[in-house]
Amino acid sequence: MQGVGFFSAIIIGILAGWIAEKVMSRSHGLFTNLIVGLIGAFIGPAVLRIFNLVPVEGGFWPSLVVSTVGAIIFLFILGLFRRRS
């Protein structure tokens, strides 16, 4: 999450985790949403680079979108592992 401050990164993480939670029909708490959103902030840009897409630099809304996509991917992969157990 380049171009945003510390508190904005926390807000983006919480929002991205919450949106991913709703999209994936899960039920988490605030802290879990923050963790999922922050992990999504690392996964999102990595996925963009894999597909040779240039991550949008900075700002609240672009960071939120990329983090949300990453969080959804993270919850999807996590769900694959939980079903196998």
What are the pLDDT digits (tens) for 42-66?
A: 998 889 889 888 766 778 888 899 9
Residue 75 lies in a domain: yes
Q: Answer for the pair 84, 77: CB distance below 8 angstroms, yes or no.
A: no
9-18: average pLDDT? 91
Q: Answer for the pair 44, 67: CB distance below 8 angstroms, yes or no.
A: yes
Residue 58 lies in a domain: yes
Half-sphere exposure of 71 (CA within 13 A, CB side): 30
Query: Is the pLDDT at 71 greater than 90, yes or no?
Result: yes
Q: Answer for the pair 1, 9: CB distance below 8 angstroms, yes or no.
A: yes
Q: How many domains does the chain have?
A: 1
Render the burial of 3-39: b for 16+ CB within 10 Å, e for the rest. Answer: ebeeeebeebbbbbbbbbbeebeeebeeeebbbbbbb
Residue 1 lies in a domain: no
Model confidence band, residue 84 (pLDDT cutoffs 50, 70, 90): low
| Prediction pTM value | 0.86
